[in-house]
């Protein structure tokens, strides 16, 4: 999907916030290089960033070859601008279509720069980023002075600051991209117009078609107006808002990651507890079976014991009954003859009577 994004800005030495800027810094950042600002002695190193695809410098025919050196070019710009609030360069960020190859994107960008900027006498320093990701785009820096074979002219080209030129450049980019997409058989288009201007254009064309009597064509434009009416207006966000949004997203991602880790740890603990519970349940089942078995054995032993006790009690009772009977017989004298025959007498000796 191709999108339209093209915003022009001017880099000044002192920003509205009072911060100092340098064209050498911007060139180093765009091209992911290490450059030194010879005027201030500051070193700008962005070589660690890995999103650069290609960079290059396009010169007019009359420009000296020494300006192909990026460090020399922008240090020369810094020397030419004497004022504290000098305008150092014009720069813009441009979105590249994702539906064509990186080589064709670079070719498209060069054609655009040569036709609309280099032909006017500007020098263009470009760098292409994120070509293989979902956000291919290019950073372009343009000089503010014309050049000849000796270098930059003393007088700035004020005609390049005309706001109408920005509209021309934006429309030219949309036309070139749509042409390139058609050549590559991509059924997609972009436009430099806002929703409001698109609606105004559709209404104008619909009226023209109605005057000509082409009602079907007019219906297409009216349908386009209805589609645009359904799209809600979007407020332009500042850079700080995007930075804060990104920081909040990163923070939320960190929170989500921590929650994921906690959930994962909880699931692992549950699984671990499940296995431990299964192990202990088997262990407790074995222990319970063993206890039940021992209990049964104890109960059997108790039953036998009580049975034996019952038998012993009966024997004791019988013995007691027998002893009672014997005592009664002795008291009656029934066992005297028996004892006599066996020369055993349990009767007491009476005095004065001899035993026979």
Cβ–Cβ < 8 Å for 48, 86: no
The pLDDT mean for the chain works out to: 80
Dist CA 11 CA 78 (whole Å): 12
Tens of pLDDT, residue by residue over 216-259, are 888 888 888 888 787 776 676 776 776 777 777 766 777 777 77
Asked if residue 320 has pLDDT above 70, the reply is no
Q: Strand locations in 19-136, DSSP E?
A: 34-36, 43-45, 52-58, 87-95, 124-129
- Whether 241 is covered by a domain: the verdict is no
- Determine how many CB atoms are found less than 10 A away from the CB of residue 233: 7
The tokens describing 33, both together, are 């290089």
Nearby residues of 52 by Cβ (< 8 Å), 6 or more positions away:
31, 32, 127, 128, 129
- Whether 224 is covered by a domain: the verdict is no
Do β-strands 145-148 and 151-156 pair in parallel, antiparallel, or remain unpaired?
Answer: antiparallel
pTM above 0.95?
no
Q: Using the structure block, give the residue that is written with the tokens 């010879």.
A: 38
Q: Using 50, 70 and 90 to split pLDDT, how confident is the model at 307?
A: low
- Whether 110 is covered by a domain: the verdict is yes
Dist CA 39 CA 42 (whole Å): 8
Question: How many domains would you assign to the chain?
Answer: 1
Q: Using the structure block, give the residue that is written with the tokens 């934006």.
A: 170
Cβ–Cβ < 8 Å for 2, 182: no
Q: What is the pLDDT of residue 111?
A: 95
Tell me, what DSSP letter sits at residue 126?
A: E
- Whether 286 is covered by a domain: the verdict is no
Nearest to residue 30, comparing CAs of 130, 157, 177, 158? 130
- Whether 315 is covered by a domain: the verdict is no
CA-CA distances (angstroms) from residue 100 to 181, 182, 186, 195, 239? 8, 11, 9, 26, 29
The rounded radius of gyration (Å) of the Cα atoms in the chain is: 54
DSSP string across 243-278 = HHHHHHHHHHHHHHHHHHHHHHHHHHHHHHHHHHHH
Q: What is the pLDDT of residue 244?
A: 77
Q: How far is CA 1 from the centre of its chain?
A: 23
Domain residue limits at 15: 6-192
Find the CATH number of the domain harbouring 82: 3.30.930.30
- Whether 340 is covered by a domain: the verdict is no
Tens of pLDDT, residue by residue over 45-83, are 999 988 899 999 999 999 999 999 999 999 999 999 888
Dist CA 322 CA 52 (whole Å): 122
Stretch 274-295: mean pLDDT: 70
- Whether 157 is covered by a domain: the verdict is yes
- Whether 290 is covered by a domain: the verdict is no
């Amino acid at each position: 999907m191709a999108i339209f994004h093209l915003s022009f800005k001017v880099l000044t030495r002192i920003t509205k916030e009072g911060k100092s800027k340098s064209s050498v810094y911007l060139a180093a950042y765009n091209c992911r290089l290490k450059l030194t600002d010879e005027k201030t002695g500051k070193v700008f190193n962005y070589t660690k960033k890995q999103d650069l695809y290609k960079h290059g410098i396009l010169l007019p025919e009359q420009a000296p070859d020494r300006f192909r050196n990026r460090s020399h070019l922008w240090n020369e710009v810094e020397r030419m601008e004497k004022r504290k609030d000098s305008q150092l360069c014009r720069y813009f960020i441009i979105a590249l279509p994702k539906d064509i190859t990186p080589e064709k994107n670079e070719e498209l960008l060069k054609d655009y720069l040569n036709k609309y900027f280099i032909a006017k006498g500007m020098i263009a320093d470009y760098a292409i980023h994120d070509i293989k990701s979902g956000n291919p785009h290019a950073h372009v820096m343009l000089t503010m002075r014309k050049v000849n074979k000796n270098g930059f002219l003393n007088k700035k080209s004020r005609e390049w600051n005309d706001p109408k030129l920005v509209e021309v450049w934006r429309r030219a980019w949309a036309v070139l991209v749509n042409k390139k997409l058609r050549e590559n058989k991509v059924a997609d288009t972009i436009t430099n117009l806002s929703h409001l201007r698109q609606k105004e254009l559709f209404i104008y064309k619909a009226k023209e078609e109605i005057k000509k009597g082409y009602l079907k064509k007019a219906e297409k434009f009216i349908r386009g107006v209805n589609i645009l009416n359904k799209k809600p207006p979007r407020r332009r966000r500042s850079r700080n808002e995007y930075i804060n949004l990104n920081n909040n997203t990163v923070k939320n991602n960190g929170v989500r990651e921590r929650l994921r880790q906690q959930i994962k740890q909880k699931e692992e603990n549950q699984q671990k507890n499940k296995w431990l519970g299964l192990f202990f349940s088997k262990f407790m089942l074995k222990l319970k079976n063993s206890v039940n078995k021992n209990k049964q054995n104890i109960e059997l032993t108790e039953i036998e014991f009580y049975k034996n006790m019952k038998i012993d009690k009966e024997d004791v009772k019988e013995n007691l009954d027998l002893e009672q009977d014997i005592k009664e017989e002795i008291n009656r004298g029934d066992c005297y003859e028996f004892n006599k025959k066996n020369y055993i007498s349990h009767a007491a000796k009476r005095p004065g009577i001899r035993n026979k």
